Structure 1
């Protein structure tokens, strides 16, 4: 593999890595350019294991030996190497987690395909050969999370980590939700964002009707009037369940609230009215697993 040694922060070949600390710029630029940044060797390996394709690698020379096996797998992908100071000048922060990679952003998964996968059945357009045992799929109980307009990348990453750990089948994010593939979201999720199927749904909350038509009971985590407890929801034992999580400040949108099958609350003690959305999602995922 040919390594490219950087001598200037203005090198146009590493434009993917410039101004990584500018959240507003990156959240507009990365989806538009069809890419995202995988930060740290561990995250990079998880992205590649999930089948994502690298555009380039970006690292200090001391990390080259640790990633020799990766470079051998992708001999045609350029690897840009520079001093710690130069890399910091390019990105805007000190790299101390090994390598970075600019990755091709995978195409969004159509909602019907994602729901079929969550249910463990063939997608509507699939043709299954009944003579091929490997093609058969057994439907199973399904759990899906919806993140409505969560703007904090840390919370988004934490929810994905809990979803992966507790076996949530898929995550849906609304149009105004933070990008699960922003590097902070990926880092907080420990790369599990690559393991949990997800897609962005639009329009929202009209998608709720589509979820209901697919056989899901849609419950919103809410402090609203008429809410049942999480224990009561568990007792109802829904085969296919969607849990919707709103913003910490405003909660679920009124138009979303009107479409829910149920409002659900986690009973609190000691004068605490609610949990952080990342914590509440972990509790809800575990209770309804």
Structure 2
């Protein structure tokens, strides 16, 4: 079980993993930083504790840390306990959720490994908004998508805001990076996947007619503004659209993803 360590001084070096999270150039979860995974709040911390990410420490007010102790039964890590004022001085802002946890990253999964053990996949291109990325992972977890492949231009799904918005589900939905885009989409086809590109183009097939619940299917979702590139759409087996009423040309990418993931499930 995690062992309680009282912290009364905001400059205590033992909580440096949690320090100055509001400063973009020092946040440890940013690319170029220490590469830590940061979970906020009891629910998300519980999911981090149950994930393959090696937990380093917890930090929070006593009440919130106490709620999590049972979930740390198999861990030998420190749980730093302090008051809300000291925690705010360490973190750089007042944290309403009252508890944080940090972990090292798990080993990277190879795309071929993820594809080989999956039947339904989401493939993302240019998803740069961390909140949209987190919401997509939450939707994928809720609607039975087996994993996520990250193509060109995607943000880091383990960025603190993405982890928070996903409610920790980014920690349980496996993901892999496609280094050659869109050439690596061939890996999907080689493994028997049908690749569907989601686009509002009028000549695309309506979602209800695309039979995405049959066989192994990967759905491509594009950036929040321009959507998928022409190259990505051309590399897919078919283009699919979500029919909408006149005057509305698109949906938020996480919303469009949820609708499409539901169609893939066949429910």
Normalised by the size of structure 2, how large is the TM-score? 0.89
* Distance in structure 2 (CA, Å) of the matches to 1:282 and 1:27: 31
* Distance in structure 2 (CA, Å) of the matches to 1:3 and 1:152: 36
User: What is the match of residue 218 of structure 1?
Assistant: 195
* Distance in structure 2 (CA, Å) of the matches to 1:24 and 1:263: 40
Q: 2:29–2:36: 8 Å Cα contact kept in structure 1? A: no
* Distance in structure 1 (CA, Å) of the matches to 2:184 and 2:32: 22
Q: Could you say what the CA RMSD is over the residues aligned between the two structures, in angstroms?
A: 2.2
With over 3 angstroms needed to count, the CA separation of the structure-2 counterparts of 1:23 and 1:203, relative to structure 1, is farther
How do 1:81-96 residues align onto structure 2 when only pairs under 5 Å count?
81-96=81-96
User: What secondary structure does 1:181 align onto?
Assistant: coil
* Distance in structure 2 (CA, Å) of the matches to 1:277 and 1:27: 28
User: What is the match of residue 58 of structure 1?
Assistant: 59
Normalised by the size of structure 1, how large is the TM-score? 0.83
Q: Deviations over 1:241-281 (max 9, x none)?
A: 11011012111122212211111111110411111111111
User: How much has 1:25 moved relative to structure 2?
Assistant: 5.0
How do 1:140-159 residues align onto structure 2 when only pairs under 5 Å count?
142-159=119-136
Q: How many residues align?
A: 264
Runs of 5+ in structure 1 lacking a partner? 119-141
User: What is the match of residue 178 of structure 1?
Assistant: 155
Query: Any runs of at least 4 consecutive aligned residues in structure 1 with deviations exceeding 4 A, and if so which?
Result: none
Q: Deviations over 1:103-148 (max 9, x none)?
A: 1111111112111221xxxxxxxxxxxxxxxxxxxxxxx2100121
Q: Which residue of 249, 254, 265 maps to 1:278? A: 254
* Distance in structure 1 (CA, Å) of the matches to 2:72 and 2:237: 50
Runs of 5+ in structure 2 lacking a partner? none
User: What is the match of residue 252 of structure 1?
Assistant: 228
Q: Deviations over 1:172-211 (max 9, x none)?
A: 1124212222222122212222222212221221211111
How do 1:122-137 residues align onto structure 2 when only pairs under 5 Å count?
none
User: How much has 1:158 moved relative to structure 2?
Assistant: 1.1
